[in-house]
Amino acid sequence: MTHSPEIDSIIENAIHCSKERKHQYVTVEHLLFSLITYTSFKKCLVNFGADVDALAQEISAYLDSLHAIVSKEDEIVPRKTNSLERVMNRSVTQVLFTGRRQVTTIDLYLSIAAESNSHAHYFLLKYGISKNEFVAHWQKHYKHNETSNLTDTQADEILEEHTTNLTQLAAQGKLEPLIGRTKELDDIINVLAKRFKSNVLMVGDPGVGKTAIAEGLAQMMINKEVPEFLHDHQLYSLEIGSLLAGSKYRGDFEEKVKKVLDALNKKKKTILFIDEAHTMQGAGGASNGSVDFSNMIKPAITKGTLKVIASTTWEEYYESFEKDRALMRRFYRVSIDEPNHDTTIRILNGLSSRLNDFHEVVITDDAIKAAVESADRYIHDRKNPDKSIDLLDAACAKQRVAENKGAIITKELVFDQVERFTGVPADKMKGDNFELIQNLESNIKDKLYGQDETVQQVLERVYVNFAGIGNDTKPTGSFLFLGPTGTGKTELAKLLSKNLDMPLLKYDMSEYSERHSVSSLIGPPPGYVGFGDSQVSGGRLINDLSKNPHSIMLFDEVEKAHPDIFNIFLQMLDEGRVTGSNGKEVNCKNCVIILTSNLGSADSERNNIGFGSQEKLGEDDKALKEFFKPEFRNRLDLVCKFNKLDMLAIKKIVVKFAEQLKDALLDKHNITLNLSEPVVEYLAEQGYDKKMGARPLARKIDELIRVPLSKKILFERIKNSVITAIINGEGTIEYNVTQKAIARVGEDGIIEIS
């Protein structure tokens, strides 16, 4: 830390002022008197409008009033007061916080003004020298002249501190190669050739390669692959964060920005690259009138003295740049689109050698192709080439962690990373899921009875997608399950989830019967409470799909939902995506969407006049057409009608429930339960309700089986037993309990059974 020459002169004059008056101490007032009489600072005060002469006279009169010491010594050496020591230390501290190397006059002034219990502070306030107003004046008029005369060495130091020289990194071979983007680079170079407003704003989605284009331009400049007027240019990447760091006091940020701009002007033939350019707006600004970074560079980029290449996303462009028309008109917008499939493969081929060297592996062509194709199909919240590069890099990194030097990176390893990123089973991508698919039908039909035809129809649609020949723009499957209650609609969704190893996202649509409940699914609209809150703004549906992009989505009792919610379904069923109220888009192309409904069931159960108990036919079709709009029905893959359960299906369900109960008893109490055939038939008859399906059966089994057994276990302390259920002479269920035989080894080594 050093003082500027002017500070040394001011301190010497303060000491001289004290010696002249034969004072024992050098005070803050001596320092202030020396400061305001210093030529350059006095000129700044005069321009500010302060009566410097009157102020100097009053301070001088105050100093004359102080007691002098009587000494026989020819030379009096005054000592510093504690307050002066504080002032000097404070000035050094605030310079250190701002990242500078020299104490200047403004630092000294700010430190004096902060000494609130001093006469110096009183004199400044008396003559209207307000700290905030004076600093703003000093920054505007004086500091510019002070920093404009930089040497080449000083300019290099400033740029090294706050920027990164991309052309230097390119010359050292530290930048990744740029592949493609010829059109975008031509547009950028044409803008840089302009005399005025030669500034480029690259706008594109995150991950499309905006920063890579800037680095590619730096490599072209080094290789002389650009027009002659750019041959000697240097491309600097600005770190706005380094400008903000340490800017503790008002004016510090403006000072740093001014230094960077002066350094760029000093170096000549420079291009400034600003990544995440939306951070320019508001950076360093405050509500008290401070200007932000964007306003500070407007004059330079307008006159053409500074060439700027900036980059931002479309979201931030609409949010920030379009609101500041004065800033936007100074830039020429270049759209950076996501590269196509072939270009992305070329990019990965260009990077593969560097990945090979870094991870000490060998990347195959199949792995590169698999990374691009799987990223396109399964990762929809990010853009190429970024997502494809991440997949390939992650696959290589896994082998590096396992210390498999020389490992061959295959497509199977890439698929494993896709599974980690998205939750989509790797077997599905590898084509190793044939066994799962082959057993899928039997596994489901063994647990769901009386709906074989419906199960077959649903699985046929699933097979098409698993074979890789389905429609990639729509969900894996979209079904409307239509039928009476208790026929297995929800059960089929659960079985699909279990057997396909896909999480089940269940939504009870009775919770969304009000119009405002739409916000519960996709977030509150703009202007409503919670719109900007990241915790709630996404809505349940958006958040669930973000976490589980590969899932079974069950919308139960869909007819109870508000009609506005069906507008959400239209987008989901047709395009395989959902857009939240805040603009966030999530993908559901790898989901199976199931909607259940009881429409038409009640009408079909009503008796026709004059025909006894004959049921009405076709009422479900009629209700379906009346309730659901044609555009909704047309987007469904299949409308599945569930049949009413017959007695045979009910008996199978009894056996299914019994087996579940047997497993629980055996596991927890070592009790074996046996149900005779008459008991199964009795339960089926008691629990059968043609209108209500299997749900009354479950309640009847609880009443006749679970409750009596629980009483025996709790009150009779039954365990390690065999319980046989039979029908007694009274036509009710009776339970016979026998103890299980226990085998043990006797003292003589013979096995004894008791």
Residue type, 687: G
Q: What is the C-alpha separation between 460 and 659, in angstroms, rounded?
A: 30
Task: Identify the bridge partners of residue 271 per DSSP, sorted by sequence position.
Answer: 235, 307
Cβ count near 474 (within 10 Å)? 19
If residue 659 lies in a helix (H) or strand (E), which one and from where to where? helix 647-669
Reported residue count of the chain is 754
As given in the structure block, the two tokens for residue 127 are 């003559």
201 in Cβ contact with 214 (< 8 Å): no
Low-confidence ranges of the chain (pLDDT < 70): 1-5, 70-75, 97-101, 141-150, 245-252, 254, 281-292, 303, 427-436, 468, 527-538, 600-620, 693, 741-754
Under 8 Å between Cβ of 527 and 581: no
- On whether the CB atoms of residues 475 and 591 are closer than 8 A, the answer is yes
| Measured distance CA(341)–CA(193) in Å, rounded | 32
SS3 148: coil
Beta bridge partners of 744: 752
Q: Distance between CA 631 and CA 140 in Å, rounded?
A: 64
How high is the pLDDT of residue 480? Answer: 92
Which residue is associated with the tokens 């508000």?
A: 562
Residues 6 or more apart in contact with residue 583 via CB below 8 angstroms: 315
DSSP 8-state symbol, 706: I
CA-based angle 404:406:410, to the nearest 5? Answer: 85
What pTM does this model have?
0.62
Q: Are 504 and 552 in contact (CB under 8 A)?
A: yes
**pLDDT number for residue 147:** 43
For residues 570 and 564, what is the distance between their CA atoms, to the nearest angstrom? 11
Q: How far apart are CA 81 and CA 25, in angstroms?
A: 6
Note the pLDDT tens digit of each residue in 134-143: 888 877 766 5
Indicate the angle between helix axes 707-715 and 647-669, nearest 10 degrees.
Answer: 20
List beta partners, residue 738: 722
Q: What pLDDT is attached to residue 368?
A: 92
CA gyration radius, the chain? 40
For residue 427, what are the contacts with CB-CB under 8 A and spacing of at least 6? 433, 436
Place of tokens 């039908």: 441
Residue 67: predicted pLDDT:
79
Pairing relationship of beta strands 270-274 and 234-238 according to DSSP bridges: parallel
The DSSP symbol for 322 reads G
Nearest to 442 by CA among 499, 493, 488: 499
Q: How far apart are CA 655 and CA 403, in angstroms?
A: 53
607 φ, ψ to 5°?
Answer: -80, 140
Q: Give the separation between CA 266 and CA 56, rounded to whole angstroms.
A: 38
Dump pLDDT digits (tens) for 333-354: 999 998 988 899 999 998 899 8
